[in-house]
Amino acid sequence: MNQNKITAETIRAMKARGKKVAALTAYDFPMTRLLDEVGIPFILVGDSLGMVVLGHPDTTHVTMAEMEHHVRAAARAKPRALLVADMPYRSYETVARSVKNANRLVVAGAEAVKAEGGREIIGQVRAIVAAGIPFCGHLGMLPQHVREEGGYHVKGKKEPEHQALLADADALVAAGAFAIVLELVTAPVAGEISRRIPIPTIGIGAGTDCDGQILVTPDLLGMLPWFSLKHVKPRLNAAEQMRAVIRGWIDNVNASRTR
Ligand code: KIV
């Protein structure tokens, strides 16, 4: 094995070393390879693929078979980064199902799994960790619950929500999670959780006091010009650059046809 291979333990230990965790999503071989070549330590095959690759309105449409397909593609890049796979909607409803499906993602090439929730899935988290599969938590806005919640709402504003987030974070730590994604959590609450727990928090729309940050790569690169998000300002207008290149190529093709 590559001596420099990044494991879940490496990510966990980054907090004690004062190192921030920069994490991005990838859904296929070329993006995984590109992210790995620039040194991202944590690559997530997110179920966001349902929206940003497959064109669904939310992540609840993603199946295990689709996750396995994309994890296999990403794993072919053999990244030095830790390759984490999302457990899709309803794939971890029971303890037995969660271990079986986490194993399927590992067989496809994942080195760790992530699932959404805290105390309500703690039996599943314990069982996945006991099966030897590193587990990353996900608290705050849980995209797999978007339909019952009626949208993407910031969490932690109300005191009961704040207390629930602290209790969920503690429970995930006790169950053996190596890191926790905090999505759309108020910055003060995300900061409080980050100071409270020994494992890294990786924020998305959760302020700058987290131990790391994660973004959906197509959002960062401006590949989805049809949607705008409050928590990310694209650093490239990839969609417009691609359109310009393709228009130029079409013009060349059309020009070369004339005799
Ligand atoms: O599915 C995903 O890409 C995610 C990130 C937004 C954290 O869970």
pLDDT tens-digit series, residues 87-122? 999 999 999 999 999 999 999 999 999 999 999 999
pLDDT of residue 140: 98
Across 212-241, average pLDDT: 94
Residue in 66, 68, 111, 183 annotated catalytic:
183
pLDDT of residue 257: 66
End-to-end CA distance of the chain: 58
pLDDT tens digits, one per residue of 56-86? 999 999 999 999 999 999 999 999 999 999 9
User: What are 142's two structure tokens?
Assistant: 């849980």
Question: 185 pLDDT exceeds 60?
Answer: yes
pLDDT of residue 119: 98
Q: Is residue 9 among the annotated active site residues?
A: no
Cα(58) to centroid of ligand 1, in Å? Answer: 11
Where are the strands (E) in 27-141, listed by range? 42-45, 82-86, 112-114, 135-140
Cβ of 181 below 6 Å from ligand 1:
yes
pLDDT of residue 230: 86
Q: Closest Cα partner for 183 from 152, 150, 151, 224?
A: 152
pLDDT tens digits, one per residue of 119-162? 999 999 999 999 999 999 999 999 999 999 999 999 999 999 99
pLDDT of residue 259: 55
Residue nearest to ligand 1 atom 8, measured at CA: 46
Kindly state the DSSP code that residue 43 receives in the 8-state scheme: E
Cβ of 219 below 6 Å from ligand 1:
no
Nearby residues of 155 by Cβ (< 8 Å), 6 or more positions away:
139, 140, 141, 161, 165, 184, 185, 186, 189
Residue 23, H or E segment: strand 21-25
Domains of the chain: 8-220 (3.20.20.60)
Other beta carbons less than 10 A from residue 190's beta carbon: 28
164: left (phi over 0), alpha (psi -120 to 50) or beta: alpha
Q: Ligand 1: which of 48, 67, 136, 181 to mutate, judged by most atoms within 8 Å of the beta carbon? A: 48
Where are the strands (E) in 122-232, listed by range? 135-140, 179-183, 201-204, 212-215
pLDDT of residue 186: 98
